Structure 1
Amino acid sequence: MRIVSCHRSWLWLLLMVGAGPMVGWAVPPEAGPPADVLKRLAAEDFKERQGGQDALLAWGRRRPKEGMEWLYRHATTETDPEIRRRCLGALREMVMDTYRREGEGYIGIMMQAVAAVVPGDAGNRFGVRITFVVPGGPAAKAGLPVGGLIVGAGDRIWRDADAVQDLQKWIRARKPGSKITLKVLRGNAVADVEVTLDRRPPEVERLLPFGDMPDAGRLQREAEEAYFQDWLEKRKARK
């Protein structure tokens, strides 16, 4: 009977240990990036320093919470200005990862609903005529031209003049970084055009009603920098 009791006691202990850390047991803290990465940040060769920053960013992205804290701490306390700058650069990219996941999708065009004749479809169809392409925006990068006619988006087609409102709503419901497929009429055929959406800059709504044509690249850079500076201020306030 004693032997059975002893075996049960050991079994109970093994189950408790296997279930996870026991109260009072020390859990080692998250280690920083490999030492060779830090050495590369201060290397003489520019490509080596850039490679070190890329490796640091990859390390941080594998553990976002701990990585951002580590990068912030070293970006503000390192004595070597080059290491501080590289840590800040990697931190900015990680904060931008968060920024790009938030907000609404943005394609960067002005548009007008028009009646359309689509090959293979005898029914009434409407399309979206592109009247302006924001330089540097997603549509421009995808090669969509002014005058182009969009006759579908994903599995959507339009049979009334609400095409513009429907397309706008559909795009804005998607996250920045999403890839969408637009059906574009080219001659007597419909071509698929893939577009990678950006995050919608807040200034777009303010500028367009007044006829100002926004520079998408500039607006995105300004919005990203403002977001990063706000993140830094909030993190600094936490101490």
Structure 2
Amino acid sequence: MTKKSFRKIWFISLLSTSIPILAGALRAEVEDLVEEEKQALPEVPAGMIEALGHEEFKKRHAGQRDLLVWGKKDLKGSITSLYRVYREAEDPEIRLRSREVLKALVILKQPLPGQGYLGIQMDTARWKDEEGMLHPAVLITDVRKGTAADLATLRADDLITGVDQVLFDDLAPTRRLADYIRSKNPGDKIILKVRRGKEHLELTASLRRRPTALDEINQWGVLPVLPQETEMDEDYFQEWLKKQKKKERKAPKE
């Protein structure tokens, strides 16, 4: 046997003994990490889970509300823990209500992708300051129900005089506001400077996703029917659930 052949045999023999050892060590390390992650996850309070299936509607509703408050304290961990509760629940009421809380937490943690959307119809206007000077503004002519604008308590006839550090000029305040909002991401917060009668307000709005239907204006210039915010949330949550199920199928079985 030549020295070269001997070295090859020795190297192959070394690999055959080393690889199983390394693989075993790696497997043990992964198992330890998984176990640590499980231990670090917050445990869903048993009382809240039981309340979701209570025979009294008020108790079920209160349990769902309390569970949402609990989940907001640690979005990442609570989502993982609550997903397990949802998947394992046998009581249909617990499964339904845990799903609604889970969806709300998922939307909070992972805002819908796309451009920012406030949810108002607007027109150009002017407002007069104490010295009689006129300034450009955006007049809100309508507020779409359930949108960021609605949740921020904006109203029809409110005047938006600025947003964050942006002040409007005389050219096109509506275009300036629209472009600024679309430059933001869903979930971003903006501060709107608002005049409501004699009041000067600063209202914070958490932007949602701009509906793609807004860009599909027909040949007569009529706006299409827009999807409800709840429909967009449900579509996103369905996609999220599909991803979780794929992860479950790929995960090694214990």
Same fold by TM-score greater than 0.5: yes
Q: How many residues align?
A: 210
Amino acid at match of 1:223: M
Structure 2 gaps of 5+ residues are 1-31, 249-254
2: CA distance between counterparts of 1:140 and 1:208?
A: 23
Q: TM-score by structure 2 length?
A: 0.65
How far does residue 228 in structure 1 lie from its aligned partner after superposition? 0.7
Please tell me whether the aligned partners of residues 64 and 98 of structure 2 are also in contact (alpha carbons under 8 angstroms): yes
SS at match of 1:84: helix
Partner residue of 1:42?
53
Partner residue of 2:244?
235
Q: Deviations over 1:85-139 (max 9, x none)?
A: 222122111112124476544222233445x363346777433344554345444
Q: Deviations over 1:188-231 (max 9, x none)?
A: x573362524403323523556422655xx52111111111111
Matched, 1:55 2:52: no
How far does residue 48 in structure 1 lie from its aligned partner after superposition? 1.9
Distance 1:126 1:225, change over 3 A: same
Matches within 5 A, 1:70-89: 70-89=81-100
Specify which structure has the bigger relative contact order, considering alpha-carbon pairs within 8 angstroms and separated by 6 or more residues.
1
Q: TM-score by structure 1 length?
A: 0.68
Alignment RMSD (CA, Å):
3.5
Partner residue of 1:4?
none
2: CA distance between counterparts of 1:64 and 1:185?
A: 36
Q: Deviations over 1:42-61 (max 9, x none)?
A: 32222222222333333333
Partner residue of 2:176?
166
Partner residue of 1:224?
233
1: CA distance between counterparts of 2:200 and 2:145?
A: 22
Identity value in percent: 27
SS at match of 1:182: strand
Please tell me whether the aligned partners of residues 112 and 131 of structure 1 are also in contact (alpha carbons under 8 angstroms): yes
